[in-house]
Amino acid sequence: MTTSGDTEIAERVNRIENVPAVPAILLPLLNMLRKSEGEVDVNEVVRLVSYDKAIAVQCLRVAGSALFGLARSPESVSAAVLSLGLKRVENILLATCMGEILPPNMWVLDPVGFWRHSLGCAMVCRKFSEKIGVVDPDKAYLGGLLHDIGFLANCLAFTDEFAPAVQRACDEQIPLHQAERITMGFTHCETGRALAKKWCLSDDMVQVIAHHHAPEMSETAHSLVALVNLGDLLCRMRGLGYGYYERLRADLIFDPAWSILLQEHRKLEGVDLARFTFEIDGAVAEIYELVSAVFAPAPARG
């Protein structure tokens, strides 16, 4: 994409009138994620969740779903927080908030598949960073969660161009970014970068969003971008892709992303990648149920 193309993308993204409404509690939540485990204040979590009634109700509903196996549904947000543990509450909150960003009629992609992939990638990136001590695990989580927001920009600002790209990816069983490049001439990496700037996300996140399919092109945060690239690939390989078969073959250890990480983190050499892959499988079922619970129709009131 040329510089003039980049400018055009930025202009179209900036013209989006109904900016994906970032729920008010999302940014404070993301900030909270950056704190170390011991510093998180439970009262703060409860206050944030209770702030948005719709989200609080949704959280309670998800917390009470079969997934979490609680003896009975939590009756209050604080009970839910205590029963589930903070990390899981964060996942529920993020899934719930993010699920509200686009109204149902705006989606070109399947929203369930999208959030499944995003949350799955967040989880895999955190696990991976913990294993090899690469980047801050919470930053890795956030990178995994947000890396594909370009698809949201596509749904809002490039609906007509994006739909045939999705169709082509499914028909030819090729990666979405390749189909975008062929049919649109640009990808969610460029539109995502424009949206990330509009949302004033940090520079590191902008790098992840813009370069996760070509980490060698990243200007800064090389390790983080490389880690998200691998997390994204692993998710697509282990049932957390976009819901269609991709004719993919990945030799991760000979991937540019792996070389980038290896330069700075020799610990990577000792990782048993096969075992790590199997460990991811163990968490896939949980992601499926979490996202399905978030998107399940709300039970009838009465």
- Contact footprint for another protein (CB under 8 A): 37-43, 46, 67-69, 78, 81-88, 173, 233-234, 236-239, 241, 245-254, 272-275, 277-279, 281-282, 285-286
Tokens of 219: 């200007």
Decide whether 83 or 207 has the Cβ nearer to another protein: 83
Nearest in space to 128 (alpha carbons), one of 228, 205, 263: 228
42 in helix, strand or coil?
A: helix
Residues 236, 121: Cα–Cα separation, whole Å: 9
Decide whether 17 or 251 has the Cβ nearer to another protein: 251
Residue 194 sits at the vertex; the CA angle it makes with 237 and 103, to the nearest 5 degrees, is 70
DSSP secondary structure letters along 163-216? HHHHHHHHHHT--HHHHHHHHHSS-HHHHHHHHHHHTT--HHHHHHHHHTT-GG
Tokens of 87: 């990390």
Closest approach, Cβ 8 to another protein, in A, equals 35
CA-to-CA dists, residue 204 to 72, 212, 222, angstroms:
41, 11, 9
